[in-house]
A and B are shown apart, each in its own frame.
Chain A
Amino acid sequence: MSALTSLNGVRWIRENLFSSFGNTALTLFGLAVVWLVLVPAIDWALVRAVWSGDSREVCLDPAAGACWPYIEARLGQIVYGFYDKAARWRVDIVFVLGAIGIAWLMLPRLPSKWLVAALLLTVYPIIVFVLLSGGIFGLDVVPTSRWGGLLLTLLVAATGIVTSLPIGIALALARQSDLPVIKWMAIAFIEIVRGVPLITLLFMASNLLPLFLPDGMTADKLVRALVAFSLFSSAYMAEVVRGGLQAIPRGQTEAAHALGLGYWTVTGLIVLPQALRLVIPGIVNTFIGLFKDTTLISIIGFFDLLGVIQSGNADPDWATPNTAFTGYIFVGAVFWAFCFGLSRYAGAVETRLAHADRGQK
């Protein structure tokens, strides 16, 4: 049995890796890449890495690889930013509640999804706001300038994701409207926002928006950034949704109208459910893009996940040749896990929906 498997193995190797002269050359090239890039990378991150210690001294050995004690020392900041240490339990509650809610929605078996979704979109944001900013129920006030790290990254991403879908749908519908004013305003908004870099919109939010507010009315810097971020993601979402709307055959709308249904009923019950289902991959891709784009708020002075590590890398207490590499690799791995997980989950949902469709027919 084992002789047979090893024979099959040899045959597989011959057919897939050394079938011809060109193929052999490619394989050798691939092996060179593995040897020169992947092996040293793993060697650096795991084998030669320093795993424990409490100061930079342990990482100063010239042969040392990644300096993981640095991440350990910074973990508090990486997760909470500069949030008051005594109040970090409030952030923990926010994280746990959010994780339970999202896990509930993602696991197919669990019941009453609509209720949980409704709670997540209405009650949960209020809880988050109260817990994070404080000021009532005897909770100390924590100004938004102290929020940071993973907390801020997730907050910005979640706000962008939650607001972009409804605004994006509204914009996409407006773009198809029969009223020229609404249509052209939607087109202008979408195309302008999509045509400029996000960073200019964030600059606008931090420099320009205050000028447009009347006296005595000030908006928190974080709120302004969130507004810019939401508008930006809505414009991209609008284009994704429009793709779905255009894929729905005209006959669907006409048939619904013939049954005597009005615009809102037709849109809400016939067109949108089908259109959104078609563009699930596009929606998830937009979410992933958004999640990555949250890092841009570090440019306008916030300490999100990237901002925190960027300031940590400059800390002389941890200055070693490997500090910057370790910091970036760690944050990169966190982002990678979120984005890759999201795209894999979306792939699974897509397959499930496709199977469900086939089952019905």
Chain B
Amino acid sequence: MIVASVVVLLVATAQENIAKQRIATGFGFFDDEANFAIIQTLIPYSETSSYARALLVGLLNTLLVAALGIALASVIGFTVGIARLSPNWLVARLAAIYVETLRNVPLLLQLFFWYFAVLRALPRPAASLSIGDAVFLNNRGLFVPALSFDGMAWLAPIVLVMMVLASRVVSTRTRAGTRWLDRWPRAGLIAFGVVSAAGILAFTVRAEVPALTGFSFQGGVRVIPELMALVIGLSTYTAAFIAEIVRAGIQGVAKGQHEAAQSLGLSRWQTLRLVVMPQALRIIVPPLTSQYLNLTKNSSLGTAIAYPDLVHVFAGTALNQTGQAVEILTVTMVIYLTLSLLTAAAMNWYNSRLRLQER
């Protein structure tokens, strides 16, 4: 009762205040012209596009940075986590330093560091760092060749997939044979697939190499510095947490499993890959999920370095222009909530597949 009356009172006050300040209400503004530019758009967008379109652009930018960040953070995190348990003293120490340094410094500070200190210190376009005159790095961003595919390019993946499937068939036929020679047909088929796919691609793909004209680069794909800083910062930071999760997961597997695998003659790497990791994943996946979620939510810090994500475009620019704080913040929060719930659901599904099949 008390709660309900407080809510009613608050809503009434809010309505009164909104009316007094002449702020429009409702979601009508979604169709209005947004009138602002966005520096990175994955779908066609212009200043005459609607607010709804701007919202979609921001959301896609958030998803892009989350996907890149999650992929990179997983790779770094698993590597560092395994390195922390390495019998090599130096490597284990370096991994520990990595973890203890990065996870004890605020993410926002790290983002500022990458964006305002490191990337700003890069040379001007005329003096770019380059790899083979095709990839250029300067203070305007990372410029990589743009690939365009000709008509027949789709044949390449099909050839590759067919050869891999064929090798599977061959290998099931020859499963009994463990002699080295028996692996030849399989390897041959895969090699043929790779070579022919590469051949097709070589004739059908054209790379548009960026070139310096005037003060900046033309052609190719430009990765804006904001995106680079955000992906680097998010992934290295989150990787420190993932590394600890991976370490705990590996240490959580019973010692007897290691010893049994080694006494069967498996190498250290085989033990890790075939015996320890599959069991460790059961411990790793639940906390890993929440790290992925954290990374997605933390991508909103990109707003501080002007990366045009959901928060920056919608809860920032659009909010300032329309003043409709209630609607805009509600929509933003609902989107993040949905992303969180979807990720959690997907990971729970994966987790249930990994679970021990008990009878």
Instruction: Point out residues on A near B: beta carbons under 8 Å.
Output: 16-17, 19, 23, 26-27, 29-31, 33-34, 185, 192, 194-200, 203-204, 207-208, 210-215, 288, 292-296, 298-299, 306, 310, 313, 321, 324-325, 328, 331-332, 335-336, 339-340, 343
Contact = CB atoms under 8 A, between A and B. Distances in A.
A131 B100 CA distance: 36
B108 A328 contact: no
Interface string B89-100: 111011000001
Interface in B94-136: 94, 100-101, 103-110, 112-113, 116-117, 120-121
A336 B10 CA distance: 41
B88 A26 contact: yes
Contacts, number: 142
A256 B297 CA distance: 42
B319 interface: yes
Grouping DSSP codes into helix (H, G, I), strand (E, B) and loop, the B interface class, with mixed when no group exceeds half, is: helix
A199 B117 contact: no
Nearest to B320: A207
B106 A26 contact: no
Contacts of A340: 100, 104
A63 to B, nearest CB: 15
B332 A195 contact: no
Contacts of A19: 87
Closest 3 CB pairs between A and B?
Answer: A30-B90, A339-B104, A197-B300
12 contacts: A196-B297, A197-B300, A197-B311, A200-B311, A208-B325, A212-B10, A296-B108, A299-B303, A306-B106, A324-B116, A324-B120, A335-B109
A200 B336 contact: yes
Interface of B: 3, 10, 13-14, 17-18, 86-91, 93-94, 100-101, 103-110, 112-113, 116-117, 120-121, 297-298, 300-301, 303-304, 311, 315, 319, 325-326, 329, 332-333, 336-337, 340-341
A340 B333 CA distance: 32
B117 A328 contact: yes
A19 B180 CA distance: 29
A335 B319 CA distance: 32
Contact of A30 (B88, B107, B337): B88
B333 A200 contact: yes
A270 B18 CA distance: 49
B21 to A, nearest CB: 8
Contacts of A295: 106, 108-109
A107 to B, nearest CB: 23
A141 B106 CA distance: 32
Contacts of B311: 197, 199-200, 203
Given A195-B340, A213-B13, A332 B109 contact: yes
Contacts of A343: 104
A336 B91 CA distance: 22
Given A215-B17, A299-B108, 19 more contacts: A17-B90, A23-B87, A26-B86, A34-B90, A196-B297, A196-B337, A197-B301, A203-B325, A212-B10, A213-B17, A294-B106, A295-B106, A296-B108, A299-B303, A324-B116, A332-B110, A339-B103, A340-B104, A343-B104
